[in-house]
């Protein structure tokens, strides 16, 4: 018998009830912080960094998250040194989302760890699952990319604009398309 609460199920990759009161409260708290962050003057760099440090599970000394930015929980996001994300990035961090050092993300990108059952009865009950996303060091993700649950992108890789990344992409390659696939080594 499974004695895990819904948050524990979410973090372990099992089906969980996204409508659980604890998860709803945590998402609401996160959304309030995102709202506060997105309404700070862009010139208030120190205040912005302080809020991101409060929001994310791990940060480093050098990072910049342009506004607007949105996420679900925040505590599942970890960023390496010299992390930069441009405007209008969404990270649905129901599972861990890890970014290495020197990661650059163009505008309008989405990182989605959450998935929903194909079974209509389970889906209509509000059940979902989550799989982690891992982005290596020295990765550049072009504008308008979508990174789906469970994906890992290797070091030194470039993902071309508009790509939908549905499976792992190895290190040291240029990849793009829908679905994203390796075009050549770099």
Please give the positions annotated as active site. 116
User: Can you point out the beta strands (E) in the chain?
Assistant: 16-17, 63-65, 69-71, 77-79, 83-85, 89-92, 97-99, 104-105, 110-112, 114-115, 127-130, 133-135, 140-141, 146-147, 152-153, 158-159, 164-165, 173-177, 180-185
DSSP 158: E
Sequence-separated (6 or more) residues with CB below 8 Å from residue 184: 173, 174
């Amino acid at each position: 018998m499974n004695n895990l609460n819904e948050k524990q199920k979410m973090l372990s990759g099992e089906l969980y009830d996204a409508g659980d009161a604890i998860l709803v409260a945590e998402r609401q708290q996160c959304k309030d912080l995102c709202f506060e962050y997105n309404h700070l003057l862009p010139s208030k760099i120190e205040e912005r960094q302080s809020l991101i440090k409060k929001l994310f599970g791990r940060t480093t000394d050098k990072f910049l998250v342009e506004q607007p930015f949105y996420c679900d929980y925040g505590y599942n996001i970890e960023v390496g040194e010299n992390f930069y994300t441009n405007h209008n990035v969404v990270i649905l961090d129901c599972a861990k989302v890890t970014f290495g050092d020197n990661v650059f993300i163009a505008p309008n990108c989405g990182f989605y760890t959450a998935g929903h059952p194909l079974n209509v009865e389970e889906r209509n009950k509000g059940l979902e699952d989550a799989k982690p996303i891992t982005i290596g060091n020295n990765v550049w993700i072009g504008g308008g990319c979508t990174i789906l649950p469970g994906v890992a992108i290797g070091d030194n890789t470039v993902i071309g604009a508009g790509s939908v990344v549905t499976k792992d992409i190895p290190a040291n390659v240029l990849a793009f398309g829908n679905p994203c696939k390796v075009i050549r080594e770099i």
